[in-house]
């Protein structure tokens, strides 16, 4: 039997007064209410499309839905807070009303958007900037008493591709997460999820190195989220496109599971759930 030698990591999340058990990996389905996200298959804009996508993902077994209205692909256009809210808040209200049991994560780096979205029916704040793009974010999350996804990124979505110089990437990221966790705890945030930020201020080689050493983040004591789905590290390596990157995504998601991922953030829920099922069965084999 394969021996599980992983460190003790917090394996529960308090989401709206309900405890979610992360001892078996979970899946977060991506819903982009944007016209320009890098994978066209994830974009939805009408109420019908939003509800249809949410229903499909929940039926396929998504444990969370991650809603974003600000595209963070490299070089994406900046939009105002008002425009982000106008796209996002109606979608949150729509899904939370139609699917009352669904756990909704909000992909935003703006504290004001996060607060309004939580009040509109969402449950988790997913911040690509780790609080760097809005100094009020940590205080706001502490006040809201919701889980927080802490991602590593340098710069902004508009310039992050030029911010990928590191003397020692893993050492720098470990310091980043350690200091951010201390700050979050000071604001009363205790349900934290670590996101290494694949593709954010990292080139293809750095992304693969990060995946190879991802288990190192377990020393921080919090669950790790892997967001690899259909990213350019896959399709550029395979000389293909994001539309054709599902098989590559499944391979890298499986490696991420082997390296301790507690949550897979994906465009394709069914494939991710199957990866988890097979991996869990493999672990239990004698």
User: Which residues are catalytic, by number?
Assistant: 231, 265
- 26-32 and 104-107 as β-strands: parallel, antiparallel, unpaired? unpaired
Report the run of H or E that residue 158 belongs to, with start and end: none
Q: Which residues contact 73 (CB under 8 A, 6 or more apart)?
A: 36, 37, 38, 157
State the Cα–Cα distance between residues 53 and 55, nearest whole angstrom.
5
State the Cα–Cα distance between residues 68 and 284, nearest whole angstrom.
36
Could you tell me the CA-to-CA distances from 8 to 175, 203, 214, 229, 254 in Å, in that order? 20, 31, 15, 27, 21
Could you tell me the CA-to-CA distances from 183 to 24, 106, 225 in Å, in that order? 28, 21, 20
State the Cα–Cα distance between residues 134 and 128, nearest whole angstrom.
11
Measured over the CA atoms of residue 78, residue 81, residue 84 and residue 87, the dihedral's sign is negative
């Amino acid at each position: 039997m394969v021996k599980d030698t992983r460190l003790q990591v917090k394996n529960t999340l308090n989401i709206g007064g309900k405890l979610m058990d992360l001892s078996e990996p979970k899946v977060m389905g991506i819903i982009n209410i944007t016209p320009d996200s890098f994978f066209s298959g994830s974009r939805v804009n009408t109420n019908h499309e939003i509800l249809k996508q949410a229903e499909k993902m929940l039926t396929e077994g998504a444990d969370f839905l991650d809603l974003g209205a600000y595209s963070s692909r490299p070089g994406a256009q900046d939009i105002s807070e008002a425009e982000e809210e106008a796209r996002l808040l109606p979608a949150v209200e729509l899904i939370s009303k139609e699917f009352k049991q669904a756990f909704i994560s909000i992909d935003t780096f703006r504290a004001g958007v996060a607060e309004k979205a939580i009040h509109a029916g969402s449950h988790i704040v997913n911040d690509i900037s780790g609080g760097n793009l809005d100094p009020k974010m940590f205080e706001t999350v502490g006040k809201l008493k919701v889980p927080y996804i802490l991602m590593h990124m340098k710069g902004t979505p508009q310039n992050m591709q030029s911010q990928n110089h590191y003397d020692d990437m893993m050492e720098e990221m470990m310091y980043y997460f350690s200091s951010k966790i201390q700050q979050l705890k000071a604001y009363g945030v205790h349900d934290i999820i670590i996101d290494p930020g694949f593709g954010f201020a990292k080139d293809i080689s750095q992304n693969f190195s990060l995946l190879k050493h991802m288990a190192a983040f377990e020393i921080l004591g919090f669950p790790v989220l892997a967001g690899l789905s259909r990213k350019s590290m896959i399709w550029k390596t395979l000389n293909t496109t994001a539309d054709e990157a599902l098989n590559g995504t499944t391979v890298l998601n499986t490696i991420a599971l082997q390296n301790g991922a507690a949550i897979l953030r994906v465009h394709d829920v069914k494939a991710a759930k199957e990866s988890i099922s097979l991996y869990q069965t493999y672990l239990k084999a004698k």
